[in-house]
Each structure stands twice: as C-alpha cells, then as structure tokens.
Amino acid sequence: MARKTARPGRTVVVFFLGLAIAYGLVALGGTWKPELGLDLQGGTRITLTAQGSPSAENLDEARGIIDERVNGTGVTEAEVTTQGGNLIVVEIPGKTRSDLVDTVKRQAQLRFRTVACTEGPSGVTGSCASAATTPTAPSQPSAPSTSKPSGTSSKGSKNRAPFLMADKKSDKKSKPSSSASASESPSASTSASPTPSDSGDPAQSALAFIDSPDQAAVDAFNAYSCPSNKIVDDNPDQPLVTCGTGDDAGTKYLLSPAAIEGTDLDSASAGIPSGQVQWQVDLTLGGDGKQVFADLSRAMAGSEKQFAVVLDGRVISAPTFDGVIPNGSAQISGNFDEASANSLATSLKYGALPLAFEKGGTSVETVGPSLAGDQLSAGITAGIIGLLLVMIYCLLYYRGLGVVVVASLIVAGAVTYAMVLLLSKGAGFTLSLPGIAGLIVAVGITADSFIVYFERIRDEMREGRSMRVAVEAGWKRARNTCLAADTVSLLAAVVLYIFAAGVVKGFAFALGLSTLIDLAIFFWFTHPMVSWLARFKFFNRGHKLSGLDAENLGIDRISVGGRA
Amino acid sequence: MGKFSRLGNDLYSGRRSIDFVGRKWLWYAMSGVIIVLAVAGLYLKGLNMGIEFTGGAQYRVSLDSSQVTQDNADELRNAVAGTGINGAASPVVTTSGSNAILVQTEPLGSAESQKVVDTIVQTTGVDPDKAISQDEIGASWGQEVAKRSVTGLAVFLVLVVLFIWAYFRQWKMSVAAIVALAHDVLITVGVYALSGFEVTPATVTGVLTILGFSLYDTVVVFDKVRENTKGLRERRTTYAAQANLAVNQTLVRSINTSVVALIPVGAILYVSVVQLGASSLKDLALALFVGMAAGAYSSIFIATPLLVQLKSGESDVQAAEKRAAARAREADRYASVPAFTEDMPIQTEPGAEVRDPGDETGGAPVSDTPSSRRAPEAAGRGRVAPSPRGPVRPSGASGRQQPSRQSRSKRGKK
C-alpha cells in the first residue's frame, strides 16, 4: 500500500519529463510553428508534361503513382491532378519543395541486366574486346560446354560453361542436390544450339549473353558513343546499349535483355550500411526475380562479371557479386547522398510510371493558399471559444474535479502541439484547415474519458464508498470502458491508414495520434492527478466546491455501510 | 447544477427512470421518419460532389505581378462564388507563380462558363481573349482512392464486428452497434444532401470521424449494459429493466459528453456559416455536428432498445421475464387487504360479501379479497407457473475445502 500511495506523484513527474523531452526535441528542431497545408499556406506546384499523347488510363495511373510518391506516408496532404490530356499537376505544401521534382518525374523503370561489355576511360572490357578485334568470334556456334571444365572465368568462354561451373561450386558448399546433374544434361543438348537466348530461364539467357552477345548488339555498341543525351528506348526483350550516370556518364555499356523486371521489387529503402559512410538504396526482390537473382549471383560470384541496375534506360550502378545472394536482397550503391538515396528509394517503392515526361515540359512555381486569409484565424478563434465553453461547463458541473478536466485538456493540447511540431519536422506532416478542426474536435472527445471516469467515481460514492476508495474502484471500471472504446478508434485508424490513400490516410493518422494521446493523458495524468487530489481533505471530506459533496452528488447523506 | 446532479443520482439509483427500452417503437418511428427524409433528400437532390471528385474547369488569369496578391485572389473568389452558378459556388482560387491567378470550378456548361469569364473580367479588368485561358482538370480523388478507402472501410467494419463480439461475447451487440452506425451515417449524409453543401475530402473525413464517434459512444453504453446484466440468472430482474437502468445511469455521461463534444463543433459551425462565406470548414463542421448528435442519440435510443429486442428471444432472458411476471403477481398478495380502522366491519369469512349500504363514510376500501383476484397457484393443470426466483447457485464457500485438523498422533512430531 505504501508503494501504491507513492505512485501518483511519480507517474505525473515521469509524464511531464516525457513532455519536456518532446519539447526539447522540438527546440532542437528549431521551429515553433507547424507546417501549414496547401489550403492555408500555399505551396509548390510542379507541372509535368507527358511525352506523346498518353491514354487517359495511363495518365490516371501515373497520377496515382505520383500521389503515392509525394504522399507515401499520407500526412503531407499533397494534391495530384491531371489536367488537359497530357499534364499532371502536383501541388505540395511548402514554398521550397522543388527538391521533389526528381522524385516526382522519375519514371522509375527499374531493370536488372547483365553487362556484356563496357567501354570507359579505362578501355574496353568484356567479350566485345575480342568481338571488336575479331568480329567473327561471337557468331560462332558454341562448343560443347564440357570442353571448359577448368572453371576459370575467362573471357569469351562458351555458352554453358560458367553456369555449370557455378553449379558445381554451389555443390561444394552445401547442396548435393540433383541440380548439377539435372542442369548438365540440358546444357549438353542446348549447348549445340547457336542462340543462347532460346532458353526460357532469364538468368541463363542473361548469363549466356555476357559471353556471347549477338553481333547486332555488338555493332550497336561499337556505333554508340557516350556521354549521350539521346532518349534510350528501354525494351526489356532486347539487348541494350546505354551510358552510365553521374561520374560514370562516359562509360558505355552493352547489356543483356532484362533478367529481372522492376515489378519483382518488393521494397526499397535508403540507408547507410553499418561500418560505411556512403548512402545506398537497399532493394528486396520477390517473385521470380528472387530466384533469378540467386541464380545470377551463384553464377557470377567471385568473377569479374558485372550486372547492371538500369533505371529509366541508364546504368546507375554496375557492381559485381561478392557472394551468393539467395534471399533477393540487393543494394544500389553509387554517388548517393541522403536526399538522392531517399528520392530514388521512394521512386522505386511505388512502381514505375506508365509514361515518360518531356524534358523541357516541367515547370515549377509557387502557389498561394486556396483559402482566404481570415479562415485560419476564424477557425482557431472558434475553436478556442468552443474549448473555453467546454472548460466553463466542466468547472460548473464538476467544480473541483473540473480543474482536473481543464488541466488535462491543457496538457492534451500541449502534447498534441508537440507531436504536430515533431511530425511536421520528421514526417512532413502538414496542418490543413480540416486537420485543425479535427484536432479541436479530438480534444473535445478526449474529454469524454474524463467524464466517464468522474461519473464512475460519483457512482461509486453514491453506493456509499468514500472518495479514496471510489477513485480506485471507479478507475478500474472506467479504464476498461475507455480501453474498449479507444480500441475501436485505434482499429479504425490503423485499418484506414493501411488501406486508404490520400486524405483518408491523413485522417487516419490524426485519429490514431489523438486516440493515443487521449490514452496517455488518461493513464498517466488524469488518474494520478485524481488519486493525488483524493488525499486532500478538500476532496475526501466533500467540500462544497470539490464537486464531491453530498449535495452535489445528489444524495442527502453518505450513509455508512448502506446504500443512499 | 445541483438539480442536474440530483437527477443524476435519481437516475443512477433507479428512483427516477426514463423508459428508453419500453418506448422503443416511438424512437424507431422518429428515426424512421428522419431516415426517410434523409434518403429522400439523397435521392431527390443528390450529393453535390466537389472538384476533387468530379474534376472541373480551370481558368488561368494572367495578370501583372503587382496584381497577383492574396487579396485579389480572395476578391475573385467571392466574386465567382457570388455568380449564383451551382457548380461555381465554392471555387478554388489560388495565386500561381508571380503572374497568374487560377480559378477552378466544377464542370460548367458553356453559358455558365461565359458568365464566370465575364465575372473574372469585371473583377480584374483583363482582356478576356488574351489573359484568360481555360483548361480541363481531372479529379484528384479518383476511382482508385475511392476504391481503396471503401476497401479499408469494409475491413474496418468487419474487424469492429469481430472486436465487439470478442469483447462483449455477444454478437447481438455487434449487430445493434452496426445498425446504430448505419443510422448515424445515413442521417448525416441525408442532411448533407439536403443542405446542398459541396462534398469535399474534408466531408469524407468528417463522416469517418462520425463512424468512429458513433461506435465509441455505443461501446461505452453497451459496457454499462453488460455490467448491469451480468449474472441475470441469479438476480431478480429482467434484461430489459437492467438495460434501461444502464442507459439511465449513463445518461448523465452521455449528455455531458455530447455537450463537451458538440460545443467546439458548434462554435466552428457558427463562425464558418455566419462569418465566412465559401469555406471548407462549414461542410466539415456540419457533418460533424449532425453526425455526433445522431451518434449520441442512436446509442441510447436505437442501439440499446434494439439490443434488448434482439436478446428477447434468448431462453435466459425469457426465463427472467417470466420470473418477473410471476413476482409481480406474487407481490400483490397483500396489496388489497384493507387496512384496519376502528369502525371496520367485521367479516367472519374472507370470501363473504358483507356490505352495509348505510356505512358509506367508513373510508375503508372494501374490495374483493386477494384470493379471488389472484390466479390459482399451481393447480396441477395447464401451464406450470414459473418460479418467481431464479435457480440458487451454490455459494462461493460451498466447494471450498474445509480446514481439517488431524489428531495429534497422526500429525507427526516436528
């Protein structure tokens, strides 16, 4: 019991410590005003012009994908609309969001291909080196694969050899499965065929392409020069000749037909791997891509062979495999900083756009607020008046306990404000006018848990219990009621946040936040406060102004042991 | 407030009681009329969908950079809203860059469109041929968003039904809660259709808030109902009576909650309707106000009576009703026994009629004897009269192991 009586003060102190830490973080962030939404503050408008004349469905699909890119967390409340037959207009809260242009307009057509040849400042590598000097070599029919059992990853090795070799390698490691023999027999038969890409497995055909690119592709490669500004036609079924990006723009690549499509991508995120300083984008492949990637890595690990991550027809990274990657996790490293890594991850995560945009057709301008300036102040004034009325009502009805309601509401307001500030810094949360109205309403609903609690206390006292007993007994019952009711709200918030998009997502976020704040205040502030106040004679002797006197409870006397 | 508190106590103790459950058909009828009106409004007037849902027209007004100010945009908004065209009642007007103002409206016919252009020309004084360009804009709230939101809603409702079922262990409570929810949402949407306000994403937000609030309120009331009807088998009461008591006991809470929740919304509604013209705040506040009032109403007047009605078929509940009826008959046993007075006529036999016509001032209420009014108790034929009391359950101590102290010789030495 001694421990129990020591508790309320400690809980309140810890709670306020938490609140102080929250405000400390806000102070570190340095902004004391929340970011306002499009309707109140205006923002940045990015207008994108689609190439050619896309169909209405494609334009709308692109609109949806861009909406998710700029509004992935659902709290930014950006607006994406189509306009005319070929325009997409993106409006983002905040005047200086032109950094989002890249994220928005990137087509994000991601493919994994293998690299047959590269030609950079360091010279030509790959099978094209020999192809360039002896152009007949690649067109020769492949020799039987069994002729290369040595296992060195030499250039110009024939069709099936590396794959078989890789299989044997993996056998050595762990799997004495039938895969070696199973793949040996088909390779013996297919190796005679001159076209390596006949095989249905994209991994095998991509691997085959490394060693023997077809002549048309090699010619195209030799004819191409980098850096180039030409738009690349990225056809997944054809070999691709293209340039790198960034510092690598002068490097020319000959790439196999796509081994893995971007649609196999399960997730993408930006981060710094432990022990390194460079930002990178982590990818997780699912579906068929996972298996293909595992096959590729098995075949190419330890060799000089490169695969290429091709984004919108440009090689953004052409790494080699260090080991076998069975779980489909891949990284794109390169010259990323935090912003560009995040931007790329965001673009990749929500899929590729079904259309491309004109290079010169993008315009960025600032837009003003869509609501008149007096709306914000009027809305806030109305809200404050409303809350004052609520406080007066509570004070009149609950008297002494009303002070707890008022204090709880003020604390709830402070917590909410801190959360809004932190989230607008951290997650791009913006407050639109409906959002402000929602928060005001939420504070009103928060008061309900106190009302349930106080009515319970009064009921317990009407049963004849003393104040101190009633506070604890009432708490137990009110807690269950509030938990059940708030669970419904939380359920709504979580489900809608997961499933819905756009404004509804933002709403769900706000609802979940306010419900959690409600619970936190109720458990860690209101209850300890009431328990603490119950120690004072003012309350437990039923002073006239405490709100718990016999007259206010409506009973004539508190009879001991019996019901009033 | 004293009187209100006194009322609270009377309601709690059951001294005063409002018959919410018994008069259910009155409440059902009231709600029915309101819902019919709402559905009629929905059907006849339809919802006025905003630009975000339907797309619309955009007028780009090129101006000097000195003229592109927020004040001018506000002025233009009021002017366009003042044309009286239905689709342009709440236009979106923003400054765009430093040399244009954009006016967006719902899709307009050519005559209406011309009127809007005229209004813009009058307000800003620009050359209509050169400075105003029209364009068509698509919906930002497309089919896809709507579909996903509906999916989310469906999943949420299924989970809520399961949750209420799991928490209260009564699927009938889930049904009653969902009916009350549908009632609230229908009324809100109907009122919205009748008011003719534009449906914006903010409205959708408002309706979702109502969804949450309605369920929240119902759960709070049902929690009390469950508490009161626990152990019905052993208690001398009926489900309907206990449910009604529960509603009465939570009535003060319901009133306080409604007041506290509705005051801020009402203030916002008042300010936005009276002070501000075209405003997205107005629609949100209206949806919230109507929906929250309906939510508080429905959990008392619709959900609980409906729950009692649904439960009335259960054998436990029926048995309690029968016991109560039997008790009511039994409770009468001595009610009509005349009180003793000094000049009471002496009756030798209880059943015999002895009435002195001259003794009218005797004051003693002479009436039939109780035995003649009461139904014959279990006479061994016809329906077996239910026992007025529930089965007696063994008390908590009955199964407990009794302390035993064995004799010293068997206890063993320490």
Same domain, A513 and A533: yes
Which residues does chain A have within 8 Å of residue B212's beta carbon, measured at their own beta carbons?
488-489, 492, 511
Domain for residue A356, yes or no?
no
Is the CB of B1 less than 8 angstroms away from the CB of A552? yes
Same domain, A404 and A493: yes
Given its phi and psi angles, is residue B62 left (phi above 0), alpha (psi -120 to 50 degrees) or beta? Answer: beta
The mean pLDDT value for A189-211 works out to 57
Does residue A105 contact residue A52 with C-beta atoms inside 8 Å? no
Enumerate residues 43 to 62 of chain A having a beta carbon within 8 A of any beta carbon in chain B: 45, 59-60
Same domain, B268 and B193: yes
- Read off the pLDDT band of A1 (50, 70, 90): very low
Q: What's the N-to-C CA distance of chain B in angstroms?
A: 69
Same domain, A61 and A141: no
Q: What is the CA radius of gyration of chain A?
A: 33
| β-pair partners for B133 | B60
Structural domain ending residue among the three candidates B297, B318, B339: B318
Q: What local confidence, expressed as pLDDT, does residue A97 receive?
A: 63
SS3 B233: helix
Containing A167, the helix (H) or strand (E) segment is helix A161-173
Q: Mean pLDDT: which of A56-65, A233-242, A445-454, B244-253 is highest? A: B244-253
Burial class (CB in 10 A: 0-12, 13-18, 19+), A143: middle
Q: What local confidence, expressed as pLDDT, does residue B323 receive?
A: 82
Q: For residue B94, what is the domain's CATH number?
A: 3.30.70.3400
Does residue B121 contact residue B98 with C-beta atoms inside 8 Å? no
Is the CB of A486 less than 8 angstroms away from the CB of B92? no
Domain for residue B366, yes or no?
no
Domain for residue B397, yes or no?
no
Q: Which of A116-125, A340-349, A462-471 is the least confident region?
A: A116-125
Exposure string over B313-352, b if 16+ CB within 10 A, otherwise e = eeeebebbbebbebbeeeeeeeeeeeeeeeeeeeeeeeee
- Please give the Cα distance from B247 to B255 (Å, whole number): 11
Q: For residue A454, what is the domain's CATH number?
A: 1.20.1640.10
Measured in angstroms, the CA of A328 and the nearest CA of chain B are apart by 29
Structural domain ending residue among the three candidates A367, A388, A406: A367
CA distance readout (Å), B230 to B17, B223, B239: 20, 11, 9
Does residue B264 contact residue A440 with C-beta atoms inside 8 Å? yes
Q: For residue B17, what is the domain's CATH number?
A: 1.20.1640.10
Phi/psi of residue A552, nearest 5 degrees: -70, -35
Same domain, A191 and A68: no
Exposure string over A88-116, b if 16+ CB within 10 A, otherwise e = bbbbbbbeebeebbebbbbbbbbbbbbbb
- Please give the Cα distance from A121 to A118 (Å, whole number): 10
The mean pLDDT value for B82-100 works out to 76
- Read off the pLDDT band of B270 (50, 70, 90): confident
Which residues does chain B have within 8 Å of residue A83's beta carbon, measured at their own beta carbons?
58, 135-138
Domain for residue B392, yes or no?
no
Nearest Cα neighbor of B272 from B283, B264, B261 is B283
- Please give the Cα distance from A141 to B187 (Å, whole number): 78
Six token digits for residue A500: 């819905």
Same domain, B66 and B41: no
Same domain, A305 and A394: no
The mean pLDDT value for A324-341 works out to 76
Neighbours of B115 (CB within 10 A): 17
Domain for residue B324, yes or no?
no
The mean pLDDT value for A480-509 works out to 80
Mean pLDDT over the full length of chain A: 72
Same domain, B10 and B84: no
Domain for residue A354, yes or no?
no
Same domain, A412 and A379: yes
DSSP characters over B121-146:
HHHH---HHHHEEEEEE--SS-HHHH
Burial class (CB in 10 A: 0-12, 13-18, 19+), A84: middle
Same domain, B21 and B43: yes
Same domain, B217 and B272: yes
Nearest Cα neighbor of A308 from A360, A375, A380, A257 is A257
Same domain, B66 and B33: no
Which residues does chain B have within 8 Å of residue A367's beta carbon, measured at their own beta carbons?
94-97, 102
Q: Which of A56-65, A99-108, A397-406, A470-479 is the least confident region?
A: A99-108
Domain enclosing residue A200, as ranges = 110-338
Q: What local confidence, expressed as pLDDT, does residue A552 receive?
A: 63
Q: Which of A108-117, A208-217, B332-341 is the least confident region?
A: B332-341
Same domain, B204 and B223: yes
Same domain, A297 and A183: yes
Structural domain ending residue among the three candidates B277, B300, B318: B318
Same domain, B119 and B168: no
Whether B362 has a pLDDT exceeding 60, the answer reads no
Domain for residue B13, yes or no?
yes
Q: What is the pLDDT of residues B141-182, one digit of tens each?
A: 667 677 877 888 888 889 989 999 998 888 899 999 999 999
Q: What is the pLDDT of residues A226-267, one digit of tens each?
A: 766 666 666 777 788 887 776 677 778 888 888 887 777 777
Domain enclosing residue B213, as ranges = 2-48+143-318
3-state secondary structure B356-411: CCCCHHHCCCCCCCHHHHCCCCCCCCCCCCCCCCCCCCCCCCCCCCCCCCCCHHHH
Domain for residue A153, yes or no?
yes
Is the CB of B9 less than 8 angstroms away from the CB of A495? no
Q: What local confidence, expressed as pLDDT, does residue B280 receive?
A: 65
The mean pLDDT value for B242-268 works out to 87
SS3 B86: helix
Is the CB of A511 less than 8 angstroms away from the CB of B209? yes
Domain for residue A84, yes or no?
yes
Which residues does chain A have within 8 Å of residue B266's beta carbon, measured at their own beta carbons?
386
Six token digits for residue B94: 């923003």
Same domain, B26 and B118: no
Domain for residue B64, yes or no?
yes
Q: ipTM value of the model?
A: 0.72
Q: What local confidence, expressed as pLDDT, does residue B33 receive?
A: 93
Given its phi and psi angles, is residue B382 left (phi above 0), alpha (psi -120 to 50 degrees) or beta? Answer: left
Interchain contact A440–B (C-beta under 8 A): yes
Is the CB of B149 less than 8 angstroms away from the CB of A394? no
Which residues does chain B have within 8 Å of residue A386's beta carbon, measured at their own beta carbons?
263-268
Structural domain ending residue among the three candidates B105, B137, B169: B137
CA distance readout (Å), A452 to A72, A449, A488, B146: 37, 5, 16, 36
Is the CB of A489 less than 8 angstroms away from the CB of B136? no
Q: How many domains does chain B have?
A: 2
Q: For residue A363, give the chain B residue with the closest CA.
A: B97
Whether A152 has a pLDDT exceeding 60, the answer reads no
Q: For residue B145, give the chain A residue with the closest CA.
A: A501
pTM value is: 0.68
Nearest Cα neighbor of A474 from A491, A460, A489 is A460
- Please give the Cα distance from B61 to B119 (Å, whole number): 12
Enumerate residues 16 to 45 of chain A having a beta carbon within 8 A of any beta carbon in chain B: 39, 42, 45
Interface probe with A: pick from B11, B75, B164, B263, most Cβ of A within 10 Å: B263
Nearest Cα neighbor of A488 from B167, B193, B317 is B167
Q: What is the pLDDT of residues A343-360, one digit of tens each?
A: 777 777 777 777 777 777
CA distance readout (Å), B102 to A93, A266, A370, B142, B230: 17, 40, 10, 21, 63
Six token digits for residue A123: 């010279």
Interchain contact A452–B (C-beta under 8 A): yes
SS3 B167: helix
Same domain, A178 and A222: yes
Q: How many domains does chain A have?
A: 3
Measured in angstroms, the CA of B213 and the nearest CA of chain A are apart by 8
Same domain, B106 and B32: no
Same domain, A227 and A314: yes
Least CB-CB distance to A491: which of B74, B156, B285?
B156
Torsion sign (Cα): B64, B66, B68, B71: negative
Same domain, A120 and A98: no
Same domain, A134 and A51: no
Same domain, B125 and B68: yes
Helices (H), A335-466: 338-349, 373-398, 400-426, 433-462
Six token digits for residue A237: 């079924």
Q: For residue A45, give the chain B residue with the closest CA.
A: B96
Domain for residue B371, yes or no?
no
The mean pLDDT value for B383-393 works out to 67
Same domain, A89 and A194: no
Same domain, B119 and B173: no
SS3 B58: strand
- Please give the Cα distance from A137 to A155 (Å, whole number): 12
Phi/psi of residue B167, nearest 5 degrees: -75, -45
Domain for residue A460, yes or no?
yes
Domain for residue B331, yes or no?
no
Interface probe with B: pick from A65, A455, A556, A558, most Cβ of B within 10 Å: A455
